[in-house]
Amino acid sequence: MADIISTREAYGRALSKYGEREDILVFDADLTICTMSCYFAEKYPGRFFNAGIAEANMIGMSAGAATTGKIAFCHTFAMFAAGRGYDQIRNSIAYPKLNVKIVGTHAGLSVGEDGATHQCIEDLSLMRTIPNMTVICPCDANETEEAVKAMIAYNGPCYLRLGRSGVESITNYFPKYKFILGKGVLLKEGTDVSIIAAGQMVQAALRAADILEKKGIEAMVINIHTLKPLDKEIILMAAKKTGAIVTSEEHNIIGGLGAAVAEAVTLEYPVPVIRHGVEDVFGHSGKAEELMEKYGLTAENLARKAEIAIQMKG
């Protein structure tokens, strides 16, 4: 049985593991235990700074550190990073293209009982529209660790989206899996429909493919861990091979992965694209798994949308 671990937990351990470089500075907005930056703080207290409940100030501090040649990691909930800190991220980090990594944890509906005010389903949309920003949404613990290594090696602004709930570790079971910024990963071949997913919906996509296979439908499954820059090559390959696409994300269907994929195929190889995600509504307070069910973010619903996409093929 695969390990169950949250991407935020995997992130905290990875940052501590790879944070020995003296040019890495870490900032947090008084959420160290929640964001898991506490692991780094315990190991390297001299390079850790708690800015308090002042997200905009923290982002400004990170930008200042980056101007001196440091690699700055700053942490808070996705709602506070993408929402409250948007202005500072856009103008103080992305505009001058500084080497700051914004880490937004507790993203999506699976925050659960924290409710609609904390369930950030707009962050991918907000971040991918900012020039110079790299946007990453890992699906499991292994991919999160690989993302941390890649962000440290990459010189420029990044937004990393992490979740609160434990998720099944899957990528380490694929022998050909390799994490490269801006490159999607083909997890399963298929000829009838393509399921393109991000974050924990990658696991749902694989389960949906199993459901479809029992009906004689061969679904291709692609993991898009980097929404920007988007791997148009793998998306166009999927469009040409299967003729229909379903995207899946724990995010508003407006502006996120679904929109990015639709934009990619519209000009170069138009095929039906059905977006599976939060249907442009706010969330509610409740247990994570119950919310995912309520809003249709399940493998079963994804499989149904794949069948609809197949019917739409010319």
Candidates 9, 55, 145, 307; catalytic one = 55
Residue type, 243: G
Which of 60, 126, 280, 92 has the alpha carbon at shortest distance from 49?
A: 60
Token readout for 107 is 């993203």
Say how many Å lie between the first and final Cα of the chain, rounded: 41
Contact 2, 170 (CB under 8 A): yes
Q: How far apart are CA 54 and CA 60, in angstroms?
A: 10
Contact 8, 31 (CB under 8 A): no
Residue type, 314: G
- Give the contacts of 268 (CB within 8 A, at least 6 positions apart): 232, 236
Active site residue 55: yes
Which of 5, 145, 133 has the alpha carbon at shortest distance from 81?
A: 133
Q: How far apart are CA 83 and CA 98, in angstroms?
A: 20
Active site residues: 55
